[in-house]
Amino acid sequence: MALLDSKSDSKPKTLNRKRKFDKINKKTHNSKKPKFSEEKHETESQETIENLVKAPLKSKETVSLSPEQIAERYPILNDTELVKKFLGVPMTNNQKGRVRQMLRDSLKGTRDNILPDVIYSKIQSIVKTDKELTEAELRKIRILYNMLKTAADIGVPKKKVIKKEKAKKTKDTDKVDLSNDNTDNKKEEEGETDKSKDDVDGQITKNVADKKEQKVKGPKRYVVFVGNLPPNIEKEKILEHFSNLNNHIVDVRLPPRGEGKKSSIAYVELKDEYSYELALSKHHSMMDNKRINVLYTTQKNSKISKGEAKSTSAKLVALQKSGKLIGSIPVNRKRSHRRNKAKRARAKAEAES
């Protein structure tokens, strides 16, 4: 009987346990998940997708110049007769391609904000040099005109820039707040040791600032050295040679020629960086059967050593030869280079025969 009682007692215990487990499982499976959370998640994901789709469209909103603004900024284009002339010039696709490629090579490396002014200065130089313009020159002006329109239409997205600036400002403020908190804690802990360190740091920063102030003396000047000039050279002749930069030339200085020297030198000062590069691109150009040198120079009281000056001038010459300076054409694409190459090939063939 005792055995039977024990068996009968054990069964309901196991059944009770199973029932409990079943109830718990049912509760977990049948528990209704809150719908509002899923809906919220879906709406948030949809909003993020919409924002991502709309973002590139907002970035395309650019500020472009109207034809009236272009005409105000570049007055030569107001001349209706000139515009009719260069727009009415016959031009084949082959001519268009060659001229465009040549002009693109000369404008390679120019910044977008400077490019319209550079193109306009090129148009000015062509118009001012010859009163009766040839068909080739009119074709060049026509292509430059189209390039100027496209360059002036290039806008800068405003909204993106503002967002970036705001983000940067917030980051900077957070950093400042954190740094202030850290410095306060350190000052409380360390005390007088920090004050001594701050004094030392302050003295070092003052010394560095004083050195920087000593180096910088007045505004930056853009002066070019022009060498191997004809002996009896005049300012007017130099201005003619740099005719495409007449509006950007500040001064032309001709120092007295030394005794026994067969050539004279000059210094041409320019307004800004891009006109300075255009002037440097005239290196090894011809003036009265003389190949002139247009090179980098330093100021009289500058702390730049001769070695540094020579290295910078060599770098600029290399950039000019490779066609990376504004207005420069690569040496490989010059006619003189091709002729010299042909001469060398002929001389080699004659020597072998």
Q: What is the pLDDT of residues 148-189, one digit of tens each?
A: 878 766 443 444 445 555 555 555 555 545 455 555 554 455
In this predicted model, which residue has the larger pLDDT, 205 or 317? Answer: 317
The matching CATH number, chosen from 3.20.20.70, 3.40.50.20, 2.60.40.10, 3.30.70.330, for 222-334 is 3.30.70.330
pLDDT by residue (tens digit) across 223-273?
A: 999 999 998 899 999 998 998 888 889 999 999 888 888 899 999 999 888
Distance CA 326, CA 282 (A): 10
Predicted pLDDT of residue 49 = 42
Choose from 134-143, 172-181, 217-226, 288-297 the range with maximum mean pLDDT: 288-297
In whole angstroms, give the CA distance from residue 51 to residue 33: 29
DSSP state of 326: T
* Average pLDDT of the residues in 56-72: 53
What's the rounded mean pLDDT across residues 54-68? 48
Quick check: 211 pLDDT over 90? no
End-to-end CA distance of the chain: 132
Mention every residue, 6+ apart, whose C-beta is less than 8 A from residue 153.
Answer: 64, 65
Mean pLDDT of the 207-224 span: 63
- CA atoms of 78 and 81, how far apart (whole Å): 9
What does the pLDDT read at residue 54? 43
- pLDDT tens for each residue of 16-50: 666 766 666 665 555 544 444 444 444 554 444 44
